[in-house]
Amino acid sequence: MSTLTGSTTGKVVSVNRSPRHTMSKPVQQSIRLVKGLGVEGDAHSGETVKHRSRVRRDPTQPNLRQVHLIHEELLAELRSGGFDIQPGQMGENVLTSGIDLLALPCDTLLTIGESAVVAVKGLRNPCSQLDGVSPGLMQAVLDKDDAGNIVRKSGVMGVVVESGEVAPGDSIVATLPSEPFQPLEVV
């Protein structure tokens, strides 16, 4: 059996949603994930793409970006670099802790809380709107690995495969897909 870098269990730190297409999403006491749609009441919820640039290209493509998850460890890294970033400011629906989201293979299932399940579909490609949150933030969430490849650190995107309520403090358990693992690509 292959080993995976980082933990495959974690917890929810914050949940966020916005009914409007805004970069930042207000913190909520809980959110409801709806199978096949995403976060109830969020502007990005739906079976087909909702991100404006993707809608312009092809509004019929499936929405692989129903739920955006970011690891709290990234916010800590950004704060140490001088950025005062708070939960929800980078547009995430779920802020996690203790699970290496970026190391997960495509189609990993994340069971969150009692019943919600999200299938990880890919990486979030950071956009220039991050610089509206804090100048230089977009560049701060990009890095390069030892081979010179771009590393996108701004979280992962997924689709809801089982509905459920999600709140801070809920557990997250990752179930890896069958091997061979497929690395996450930008969605």
Please name each of the domains of the chain with its CATH number. Answer: 9-175 (2.40.33.20)
Where residue 2 falls among pLDDT bands split at 50, 70, 90? Answer: very low
Q: What band does 52 get if pLDDT is binned at 50, 70 and 90? A: confident
Mean of pLDDT values over 25-51: 96
- pLDDT, the chain, mean: 94
**How do residues 75-95 score in pLDDT, each as one tens digit?**
999 999 999 999 999 999 999
pLDDT tens profile 139-150: 999 999 999 999
Q: How many CA atoms lie within 13 A of 48 on its CB side?
A: 10
Which is more confidently placed, 55 or 28? Answer: 28
pTM of the predicted protein model = 0.94
Q: How much is the average pLDDT of 48-68? A: 90
Q: How far is CA 108 from CA 44, 164, 174, 184, in A?
A: 21, 18, 6, 10
Residue 39 pLDDT class (50, 70, 90 cuts): very high
Q: Where are the beta strands (DSSP E) in 66-170?
A: 67-71, 94-97, 109-112, 116-123, 142-144, 150-152, 156-162, 164-166
- CA–CA distance from 118 to each of 62, 66, 67, 102, 115 (Å)? 15, 9, 8, 15, 10
